């Protein structure tokens, strides 16, 4: 049986309804968690049953180099002004040849936070924006 290597974490695309943005340097925080509800039956003081509770999804964090593109910033500004625009999107992991290998879809997302770049006259790094996106569900495709 041939060896199967894991996919590299630096070849990916981000697709968000109606937004075209290139150059994401980091995407993190996508996953899910099932709350554990502990329950003790009245006649059994020593045993605690563990039941599944609500499912929660963490916020997704996107980082990208500052450019003239304002699509993501305008999406966030709409939320700041009370006009939440929910969008669906995908994070797509690519193989070395550029072909899609894995996809995670997120649903009913809206931007809940934005951080501007940390600027330094001594630095040589690219200026980076950070956008936090809250969603209602994330699942592998």
pLDDT(44) > 80: no
> Which carries the bigger pLDDT value, residue 48 or residue 41?
48
Predicted confidence (pLDDT) per residue in 68-119, tens digit: 888 999 999 999 999 999 999 999 988 888 888 999 999 999 999 999 998 8
DSSP 3-state assignment of 106? strand
Q: What does DSSP assign to residue 19?
A: B
Domain 12-28+58-140 indexed as CATH 2.30.110.20: yes
SS3 121: coil
Distance CA 96, CA 83 (A): 40
């Amino acid at each position: 049986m041939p060896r199967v290597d894991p996919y590299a974490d630096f070849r990916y695309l981000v697709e968000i309804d109606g937004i075209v943005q290139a150059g994401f340097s980091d995407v993190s925080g996508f996953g899910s968690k099932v709350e554990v509800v502990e329950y003790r039956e009245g006649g059994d003081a020593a045993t605690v049953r563990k039941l599944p509770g609500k499912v929660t999804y963490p916020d997704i964090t996107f980082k990208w180099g500052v450019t003239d593109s304002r699509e993501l910033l305008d999406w966030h500004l709409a939320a700041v002004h009370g006009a939440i625009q929910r969008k669906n999107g995908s994070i797509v992991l690519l193989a070395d040849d550029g072909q899609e290998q894995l996809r995670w879809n997120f649903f009913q997302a809206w931007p809940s936070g934005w951080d501007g770049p940390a600027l330094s006259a001594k630095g040589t790094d690219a200026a980076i924006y950070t956008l936090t996106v809250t969603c209602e569900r994330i699942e592998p495709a």
